[in-house]
Amino acid sequence: MRIAIYARVSKPPKGQLTEQAKRDQNPDVQLLPLQEWAAREKHKIVDVYIDLQSGKNAQRPRLQRMMREIEKGLRDIDAVVVWKLDRFGRSVRDLYNLVAKLQAAEVSFVSVSEGFDLRSSIGKAMFGMLAVFAEFERNVIAERTKAGLALARSEGRLPGPKIDPAKGPCRMTRWRQRQRETA
């Protein structure tokens, strides 16, 4: 079987580059087991697509390129293989839409860690359940972040980048100030 490997890592926030964060945000954590799996199963890796950004939306450049190439038949791929479903997407709607496009192009979808393949009925059931949990995890992370920001504000701390007195506010801060003034 000819496969495309897709991997995604989120960039850690600036200033939080601990050794653990560097290891967690390294795509090799996903790529090495996927390459070993492909060798063990005797599959040929046609291409590897890696995105270095959040999975909260499906507008990631490498994912879009892979989907475009599959839909237009530019790649001879039998399956897209991911390490875990939440690396492919974090929204149930996005996951279903992406998988529907793959199925329309007669390309299978395989998640190695969760051990499912959408060619089987049990794989389809597992996909549905895991898609819900991937979105749930994303929502929980967002809730925790908002609660942390609210706590910081209530304690008088302003989260986010600080304004350098020598340089003044950054371009984004100036844009936000203009937005507030015009509202």
Which CATH number characterizes residue 112's domain? 3.40.50.1390
Give the integer Cα–Cα distance in Å for 178 and 183.
Answer: 9
- 171 part of a folded domain: no
- 56 part of a folded domain: yes
- 118 part of a folded domain: yes
Q: What's the average pLDDT block by block, 10 residues per block, for the chain (183 residues)?
A: 92 57 72 94 94 81 94 89 87 84 91 80 78 81 88 83 78 83 78
- 144 part of a folded domain: no
Alpha-helix residue ranges (DSSP H) falling in the chain: 19-24, 28-40, 61-71, 85-88, 92-104, 121-154, 171-182
Total domains, the chain: 1
Q: What is the pLDDT of residues 128-150, one digit of tens each?
A: 777 787 788 878 888 988 998 88
Taking the whole predicted model, whether its pTM rises above 0.75 is answered as: no
- 145 part of a folded domain: no
- 162 part of a folded domain: no
Share of the chain above pLDDT 90, in %: 31
